[in-house]
């Protein structure tokens, strides 16, 4: 029986009658996984395993210290997990997120030529497990780091919800220094990972003249440059490509060339020192985001009763079916702030063109201008966390607070 | 050479591409493309990564700072998986099925659960920086008692276009790697084993054919020698030569070792800057160099220049190591004066360094940094000569000699491929695997059942066009006609640039049947097949050549020709057949079967003679 073997034990086993010997790795799905001398893993019948000798005691982990160059800018790395900080769990074979910020420095020695670092592990979670509470904790950590003199902050983050976190922080923080979110699309354990280039570019952006919350990720599939995206205008647009992040309705606010690491900021980018450091970390969590689809029963809308805010990603210019409008009206009457955005992602909402739109306006829906749905959601959480007067809420929702709304739509699409 | 006496041991790894519809871990076709057809390109850097146990040392940290840029060509037949921009698809079951079929042929034991691994390869040939590979079966037998150790299913690497540019069409094509035990003891045995395994692979009918679709790595050692892996031997016929030359090399290196030891030879630790000595030299290489460094090898004189393989000396081996520093090679006193270096300069060098006649001197020329690296490398290789044969990976040179590539890898750096689930091979799966008929057995059967002569039977059984032949024979076409058509006719057409691969089996059958039935002349078959390959509808192509000359028309033609030459015919009798055949065929070629012409001509001649 294989019970009682631990990873590293040498076991003998039979592979359909052929004797093998190898390192016991784990039991998975009813099979014992063993590593042969050639390095290959195979799965064998656990009942065929016998212990040859127990694993030698684990060698103590090597001490590691990052060599810091005091003449370089003081940067903070706040690690939250994600692929950039991922590593194979040898036991389960899955990729998990468990690197500390020190591990990141260790894995990317080049970072030490850009800054000297203080690091903090805020969380080691996959980004789908983030909550508004994590965003708040993150905002506080960034605030503290900047307050302690960090010239820039790098937040390592899973890419799937990075845009939510970045936009949430954009509302909660007034920052005089760059707060740069970075992740990777291909795991750090592969030689082709985008983690090194992304991290190097992010660090360089964190030392730049930038003064806002941004996302720095590959701009193309080649390792040629990263784009600097505004935190409230960026979206992950591809499941797996390294150039998945796209700025919507505006060009990226900058680029970082690789390997030169030269940062170029656009005129749109908010410059270092533009704002004084401030933290407003209240969020109203009782908010929802609803993706409308044809045939949606009004019960789906009514399920949001009790929410203090609801963002709807409507069709086209910002619509939902006539059948759902009554439910929206009831929500608003009951005190829920409802903000309309568009599934189109590109472009601006206008509920004055068609009848359903006018009905929505009459019901009290707020036009979400050209906000991305997720940027509108985090904004609504922040606005409701700080303001309870419905008129003030409405006013703030249509006012640009952190670059999430553009007053005019450029011709440049 | 008495291979038994020197204790030759050899094993082979055969890499064979499989002819599957899709690649091993994506749904792209396994089609090779011309590089001019590429539709896009991108470039990437690869970095060595932290090992799976999380170990790291300074050397690895340094290595990780290394940026190695590679450029990749993409095609409309490649996808994001080849680009390393999407997780892999599940393992191709067709490929696994073929691997299992091969495993069964060698009486191997399949693993119960196949785990895909990542083997680190950061030379750019894989966009991910690793090759996906999975052990499928173990412990097989070869005729004659040798053993097959393992069969692995792997993805093919990207093909190098030039320098650090790679083409992604080949990346991901499934291949099997078959590793034998070190069970061979003569060069011929290695070659015949490779031939046998190749035949077994082709017996599945599901492997790719043609140059580059099969490659052999050969492991060779002799007693007191060391294991040397020779990579990428593509020509089967060269295998015996490669093994023989490696045995010779190891024997000669051992003899050099013995002689060096007898002379108490050493390697001098000091590097001497002799740049000034060559300030006025006429040697272009030395003159151009910023620095010329000398390394003294006391007791090595005469041995550095001794040949160890055709065209290769100990000096060449030292040069190979030095080339790793970005230098072209070395000069050594065993070969000087030469290359523009004069006898006076050599004498001056020896006097300057104060070396004895039995000492050898190496000269390394280039930039200071590279030369210092070269001096270190040359001392390293020279010291290894004192120990005998270094374990290493070598590449084959033209003719079968080899050159140093890199040290043998240590324990394989293999990581689990976390994006691909393990695949379980159940007893039922294994039982359902059929063993293909070996081509050698098939040839015998063709002889016996179809009456083909042995040579033709073997040729057709081993041919790439065996499936076409089978279709034709199954459709009732005569075996000899079918065999000659697929072997000779198609080959000739192919040589003329006709796209014979476009000829479908059913079309071939249609044409051959028309020929057999006399509706078209056999002579017209190449033209008809050529037309079909060029895009003509088979039926139309046959019609265009059919009925060119009816029986009556032929008789009339032959009668006219015979009568016009009545005197000649009466004089020569049946011997007129040959010359008149040519005359008739000038008018009838392609319109009527030659045999038929001969028949009618014979009848007419005998009537007149």
For residue B152, list chain A residues with Cβ-Cβ distance below 8 A: 40
Nearest residue to B593 (alpha-carbon basis) of B480, B507, B492, B517: B517
Go through B28-43 and write b for each residue having 16 or more CB atoms within 10 A of its CB, e for each that does not: bebebbeeeebeeebe
d(CA B370, CA B291): 9
A259 to chain B, any CB pair closer than 8 A? The answer is yes
Residue B436 near residue B204, CB atoms below 8 Å: yes
pLDDT score for B548 = 63
Domain boundary among B508, B526, B544: B544
Catalytic residue among A83, A134, A232, A356: A83
User: How many C-beta atoms lie closer than 10 Å to residue B21's C-beta?
Assistant: 11
A243 carries an active-site annotation: no
pLDDT score for B197 = 96
Q: Chain A: nearest CA to B215, how far in angstroms?
A: 21
pLDDT digits (tens, 9 = 90+) for B207-261: 999 888 999 999 999 999 999 999 988 888 899 999 999 999 999 999 999 999 9
CATH code where residue B374 lies: 3.30.1360.30
d(CA B206, CA B273): 61
Q: Do B208 and B285 sit in the same domain of this protein? A: no
| Mutant choice from A29, A42, A60, A103 vs B, greatest count of B C-beta within 10 A | A42
pLDDT score for A304 = 97
Residue B550 phi, psi dihedral angles, 5° rounding: -80, 170
Residue A84 near residue A183, CB atoms below 8 Å: yes
Q: Chain A: nearest CA to B413, how far in angstroms?
A: 7
d(CA A318, CA B266): 85
**Which pair of tokens denotes residue A291?**
């993706």
For residue B119, list chain A residues with Cβ-Cβ distance below 8 A: 39
A139, pLDDT greater than 50:
yes
H-type alpha helices, B394-500: 427-432, 439-450, 454-462, 466-474, 479-484, 490-495
B432 domain-assigned: no
pLDDT digits (tens, 9 = 90+) for B477-530: 989 889 999 898 888 898 988 888 888 888 888 888 888 887 787 878 888 888
A257 to chain B, any CB pair closer than 8 A? The answer is no
Q: Which of A33, A87, A191 is closest, CB to CB, to B122?
A: A191
pLDDT digits (tens, 9 = 90+) for A184-215: 999 877 889 999 999 999 999 999 999 999 99
Strands B392-396 and B402-407, bridge-based pairing: antiparallel
d(CA A24, CA A27): 9
Q: Do B293 and B144 sit in the same domain of this protein? A: no
Q: Report the phi/psi class of residue A172: left, alpha or beta, with left for phi > 0 and alpha for psi in -120 to 50.
A: alpha
d(CA A143, CA A151): 12
B428 to chain A, any CB pair closer than 8 A? The answer is no
Provide the sign of the torsion angle of the four alpha carbons B406, B412, B417, B420, taken in this order.
positive
Q: Which residue of B has its CA nearest to A37?
A: B411
pLDDT digits (tens, 9 = 90+) for A335-348: 999 999 999 999 99
pLDDT score for A241 = 97
Cβ-count burial of A75 within 10 angstroms (0-12 exposed, 13-18 middle, 19+ buried)? Answer: buried
B416 domain-assigned: no
Q: Do B566 and B501 sit in the same domain of this protein? A: no
**Which pair of tokens denotes residue A347?**
């472009």
B104 to chain A, any CB pair closer than 8 A? The answer is no
Residue B498 near residue B462, CB atoms below 8 Å: no
Q: Which of A39, A221, A242 is closest, CB to CB, to B414?
A: A39
d(CA A135, CA A279): 12
Q: Chain B: nearest CA to A221, how far in angstroms?
A: 7
Q: Do B156 and B132 sit in the same domain of this protein? A: yes
Q: Do B168 and B282 sit in the same domain of this protein? A: no
Provide the sign of the torsion angle of the four alpha carbons B403, B404, B410, B414, taken in this order.
negative
Chain-chain contact of B42 with A221 (C-beta, under 8 angstroms): yes
CB pairs under 8 A between A and B: 152
Q: How remote is the C-alpha of B592 from its chain's centroid?
A: 44
B54 to chain A, any CB pair closer than 8 A? The answer is yes
Residues listed for chain A: 413
B291 domain-assigned: yes
The two most distant CA atoms of chain A are separated, in Å, by 78
Q: Which of B45, B64, B87 is closest, CB to CB, to A240?
A: B87
The label of the residue with tokens 């015998």 reads B444
pLDDT score for A99 = 62
What average pLDDT score do residues A155-177 get? 97
Q: Which residue of B has its CA nearest to A38?
A: B412
Residue B151 near residue B176, CB atoms below 8 Å: yes
User: How many C-beta atoms lie closer than 10 Å to residue B600's C-beta?
Assistant: 20
B333: containing domain: 264-390
Task: List, for chain B, all residue ranges whose pLDDT scores fall below the cut of 50.
Answer: 51-65
A85, pLDDT greater than 70:
no
Residue B446 near residue B457, CB atoms below 8 Å: yes
Q: Do B131 and B244 sit in the same domain of this protein? A: yes
**Which pair of tokens denotes residue B188?**
């011929």
pLDDT digits (tens, 9 = 90+) for B220-232: 999 999 999 999 8
pLDDT digits (tens, 9 = 90+) for A372-413: 999 999 999 999 999 999 999 999 999 999 999 998 887 654
A236 carries an active-site annotation: yes
Domain boundary among B259, B284, B312: B259
B433 domain-assigned: no
Q: Do B207 and B321 sit in the same domain of this protein? A: no
Chain-chain contact of B112 with A15 (C-beta, under 8 angstroms): yes
**Which pair of tokens denotes residue B497?**
């640039």
pLDDT score for B459 = 92
**Which pair of tokens denotes residue B121?**
């390869």
d(CA B247, CA A153): 62
For residue A40, list chain B residues with Cβ-Cβ distance below 8 A: 115, 117, 133-135, 150, 152, 414
Q: Do B213 and B94 sit in the same domain of this protein? A: yes
A113 to chain B, any CB pair closer than 8 A? The answer is no
Q: Do B171 and B36 sit in the same domain of this protein? A: yes
Chain-chain contact of A88 with B52 (C-beta, under 8 angstroms): yes
* Pairwise pLDDT comparison (A137 vs A27), residue with the higher score: A137
- Element spanning B141, H or E: strand B130-141
Q: Do B79 and B44 sit in the same domain of this protein? A: yes
Nearest residue to A32 (alpha-carbon basis) of B113, B183, B214, B202: B113
Q: Per residue, what are the HEC states of B349-397?
A: HHHHHCCCCCCEEEEEEECHHHHHHHHHHHHHHHHHHHHCCCCEEEEEC
Cβ-count burial of B274 within 10 angstroms (0-12 exposed, 13-18 middle, 19+ buried)? Answer: buried
Residue A150 near residue A175, CB atoms below 8 Å: no
For residue A221, list chain B residues with Cβ-Cβ distance below 8 A: 42, 83, 85
pLDDT score for B538 = 84
pLDDT score for B333 = 95
For residue A239, list chain B residues with Cβ-Cβ distance below 8 A: 86
Nearest residue to B99 (alpha-carbon basis) of B87, B88, B108, B90: B108
Residue B191 phi, psi dihedral angles, 5° rounding: -65, -45
- Element spanning B405, H or E: strand B402-407
Please give the torsion angle defined by the CA atoms of residues A373, A374, A380 and A381, in that order, rounded to the nearest 10 degrees: 160
Beta strand residue intervals within A219-362, DSSP E:
225-230, 234-236, 245-247, 254-257, 263-265, 278-279, 287-291, 309-314, 337-342
pLDDT score for B55 = 44
B351 to chain A, any CB pair closer than 8 A? The answer is no
Q: Chain B: nearest CA to A124, how far in angstroms?
A: 17
SS3 assignment, position B469:
helix
H-type alpha helices, B388-426: none
Q: What angle do CA B205, B210, B213 make, to 5 degrees?
A: 80
Nearest residue to B173 (alpha-carbon basis) of B92, B232, B98: B92
For residue B56, list chain A residues with Cβ-Cβ distance below 8 A: 62, 64, 106
Domain boundary among B202, B227, B259: B259
**Which pair of tokens denotes residue B584?**
């008739």
pLDDT digits (tens, 9 = 90+) for A255-272: 999 999 999 999 999 999
d(CA A152, CA A175): 10
Mean pLDDT, chain A, rounded, equals 91
Q: A 211-240 residues with CB below 8 A of B?
A: 220-224, 239-240
A160 carries an active-site annotation: yes
- Write the CA distances from B209 to A234, A306, B265, integer angstroms: 50, 69, 51
The ipTM is 0.91
Name the domain count of chain B: 4
Q: Which residue of A has its CA nearest to B414?
A: A39
Percent of chain A with pLDDT over 70: 91
B408 domain-assigned: no
- Element spanning B166, H or E: strand B165-167
Q: How remote is the C-alpha of B115 from its chain's centroid?
A: 28
Q: Do B90 and B235 sit in the same domain of this protein? A: yes
Q: How remote is the C-alpha of A289 from its chain's centroid?
A: 17
B429 domain-assigned: no
d(CA A129, CA B303): 69
What is the set of domains in chain A, with CATH numbers?
A: 9-53 (2.30.30), 74-279 (3.40.50.1170), 287-398 (3.40.50.40)
A90 to chain B, any CB pair closer than 8 A? The answer is yes
> Whole-structure pTM over 0.90, yes or no?
no
Residue A190 near residue A166, CB atoms below 8 Å: no
B531 domain-assigned: yes
A176 to chain B, any CB pair closer than 8 A? The answer is no
Nearest residue to B392 (alpha-carbon basis) of B218, B223, B227, B251: B227
Go through A172-209 and write b for each residue having 16 or more CB atoms within 10 A of its CB, e for each that does not: bbbbbbbbbbbbbbbbbbbbbbbbbbbbbbbbbbbbbe
Q: Do B117 and B30 sit in the same domain of this protein? A: yes
Is the omega angle on the peptide bond into residue B514 within 30 degrees of 0, that is, cis?
Answer: no
For residue A109, list chain B residues with Cβ-Cβ distance below 8 A: 61, 64-65
Cβ-count burial of A375 within 10 angstroms (0-12 exposed, 13-18 middle, 19+ buried)? Answer: buried
Catalytic residue among A45, A103, A144, A160: A160
pLDDT score for A126 = 84
CB-side neighbour CA atoms (13 Å) of B570 = 6
pLDDT score for B52 = 46
Nearest residue to B81 (alpha-carbon basis) of B164, B156, B23: B23
B117 domain-assigned: yes
pLDDT digits (tens, 9 = 90+) for A345-365: 999 999 888 888 899 999 999
A2, pLDDT greater than 70:
no
A273, pLDDT greater than 90:
yes
pLDDT score for A1 = 44
């Amino acid at each position: 029986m294989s019970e009682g073997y631990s990873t590293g034990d040498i076991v003998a086993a039979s592979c359909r009658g052929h004797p093998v010997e190898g390192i016991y790795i784990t039991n998975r799905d009813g099979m014992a996984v063993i590593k042969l001398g050639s390095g290959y893993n195979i799965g064998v019948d656990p009942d065929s395993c016998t212990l040859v000798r127990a694993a030698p005691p684990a060698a103590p982990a090597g001490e590691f210290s990052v060599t810091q160059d005091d003449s370089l800018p003081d940067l903070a790395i706040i690690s939250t997990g994600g692929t950039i900080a991922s590593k194979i769990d040898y036991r389960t074979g899955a990729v998990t997120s468990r690197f500390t910020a020190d591990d990141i420095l260790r894995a990317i020695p080049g970072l030490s030529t850009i800054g000297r670092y203080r690091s903090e592990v805020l969380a080691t979670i996959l980004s789908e497990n983030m909550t508004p509470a994590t965003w708040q904790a993150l905002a506080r950590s960034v605030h503290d780091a900047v307050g302690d003199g960090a010239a820039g902050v790098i937040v390592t983050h899973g890419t799937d919800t990075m845009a939510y976190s970045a936009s949430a922080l954009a509302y909660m923080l007034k920052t005089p220094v760059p707060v740069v979110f970075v992740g990777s699309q291909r795991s750090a354990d592969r030689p082709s990972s985008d983690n090194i280039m992304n991290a190097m570019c992010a660090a360089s952006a964190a030392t730049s003249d930038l003064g806002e919350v941004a996302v720095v990720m590959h701009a193309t599939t080649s390792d040629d440059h990263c784009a600097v995206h505004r935190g409230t205008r960026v979206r992950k647009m591809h499941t797996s490509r390294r150039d998945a992040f796209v700025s919507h309705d505006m060009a990226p606010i900058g680029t970082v060339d690789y390997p030169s690491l030269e940062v170029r900021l656009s005129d749109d980018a908010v410059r270092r020192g533009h704002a004084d450091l401030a933290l407003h970390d209240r969020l109203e969590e009782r908010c929802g985001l609803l993706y409308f689809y044809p045939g949606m029963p009004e019960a789906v809308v009514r399920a949001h009763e009790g929410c203090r805010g609801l963002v709807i990603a409507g069709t086209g210019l910002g619509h939902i079916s006539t059948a759902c409008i009554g439910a929206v009206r009831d929500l608003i009457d009951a005190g829920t702030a409802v903000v309309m955005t568009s599934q189109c992602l590109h472009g601006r909402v206008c509920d004055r063109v068609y009848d359903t739109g006018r009905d929505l306006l009459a019901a009290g829906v707020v036009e979400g201008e050209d906000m991305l749905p997720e940027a509108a959601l985090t904004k609504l959480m922040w606005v409701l966390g700080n303001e309870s007067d419905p008129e003030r809420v409405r006013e703030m929702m249509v006012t640009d607070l952190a670059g999430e709304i553009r007053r005019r739509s450029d011709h440049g699409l | 050479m008495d291979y038994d006496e020197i204790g030759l041991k050899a094993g082979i790894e055969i890499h064979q591409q499989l002819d599957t519809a899709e690649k091993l871990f994506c749904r792209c076709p396994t089609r090779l493309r011309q590089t001019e057809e590429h539709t896009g390109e991108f470039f990437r850097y690869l970095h060595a990564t932290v090992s799976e146990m999380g170990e790291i040392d300074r050397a690895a940290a340094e290595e990780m700072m290394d940026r190695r840029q590679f450029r990749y060509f993409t095609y409309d037949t490649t996808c994001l998986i080849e680009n390393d921009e999407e997780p892999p698809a599940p393992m191709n079951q067709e490929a696994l099925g073929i691997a299992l079929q091969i495993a069964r042929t060698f009486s191997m034991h399949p693993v119960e659960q196949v785990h895909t691994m990542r083997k680190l390869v950061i030379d750019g040939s894989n966009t991910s920086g690793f090759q996906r590979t999975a052990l499928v079966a173990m412990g097989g037998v070869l005729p004659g008692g040798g053993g097959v150790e393992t069969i692995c299913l792997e993805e093919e690497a990207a093909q190098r276009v030039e320098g650090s540019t790679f083409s992604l069409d080949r990346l991901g094509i499934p291949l099997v790697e078959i590793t034998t035990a070190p069970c061979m003891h003569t060069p011929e045995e290695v070659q015949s084993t490779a031939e046998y395994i190749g035949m077994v692979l082709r017996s599945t009918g599901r492997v790719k054919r043609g140059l580059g679709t099969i490659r052999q790595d050969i492991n060779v050692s002799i007693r007191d020698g060391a294991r040397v892996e020779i990579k990428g031997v593509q020509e089967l016929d060269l295998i015996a030569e490669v093994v023989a030359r490696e045995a010779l090399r190891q024997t000669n290196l051992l003899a050099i070792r013995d002689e060096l030891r007898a002379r108490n030879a050493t390697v001098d630790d000091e590097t001497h800057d002799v740049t000034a000595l060559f300030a006025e030299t006429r040697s272009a290489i030395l003159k151009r160099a910023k620095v010329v460094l000398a390394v003294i090898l006391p007791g090595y004189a005469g041995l550095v220049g001794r040949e160890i393989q055709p065209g290769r000396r100990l000096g060449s081996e030292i040069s190979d190591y030095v080339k790793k520093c970005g230098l072209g090679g070395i000069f050594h006193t065993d070969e000087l004066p030469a290359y523009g270096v004069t006898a006076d300069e050599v004498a001056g060098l020896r006097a300057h360094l104060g070396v004895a006649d039995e000492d050898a001197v190496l000269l390394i020329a280039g930039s200071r940094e590279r030369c210092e690296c070269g001096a270190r490398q040359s001392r390293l290789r020279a010291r290894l000569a004192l120990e005998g044969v270094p374990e290493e990976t070598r590449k084959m040179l033209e003719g079968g000699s080899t050159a140093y590539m890199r040290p043998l890898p240590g324990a394989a750096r293999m990581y689990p491929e976390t994006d691909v689930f393990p695949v379980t091979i159940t007893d039922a799966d294994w039982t359902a695997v059929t063993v293909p008929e070996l081509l050698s057995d098939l040839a015998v059967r063709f002889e016996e059942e179809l009456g083909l002569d042995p040579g033709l039977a073997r040729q057709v059984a081993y041919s790439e066009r065996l499936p076409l032949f089978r279709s034709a024979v199954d459709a009732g076409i005569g075996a000899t006609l079918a065999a000659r058509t697929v072997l000779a006719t198609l080959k000739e057409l192919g040589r003329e640039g006709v796209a014979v691969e476009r000829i479908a089996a059913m079309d071939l059958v249609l044409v051959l049947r028309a020929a057999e039935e006399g509706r078209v002349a056999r002579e017209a078959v190449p033209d008809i097949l050529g037309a079909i390959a060029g895009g003509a509808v088979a039926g139309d192509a046959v019609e265009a050549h059919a009925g060119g000359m009816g029986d009556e028309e032929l008789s009339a033609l032959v009668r006219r020709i015979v009568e016009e030459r009545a005197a000649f015919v009466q004089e020569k009798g049946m011997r007129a057949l040959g010359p008149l055949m040519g005359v008739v065929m000038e008018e009838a070629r392609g319109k009527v079967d030659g045999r038929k012409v001969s028949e009618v001509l014979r009848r007419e001649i005998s009537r007149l003679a």
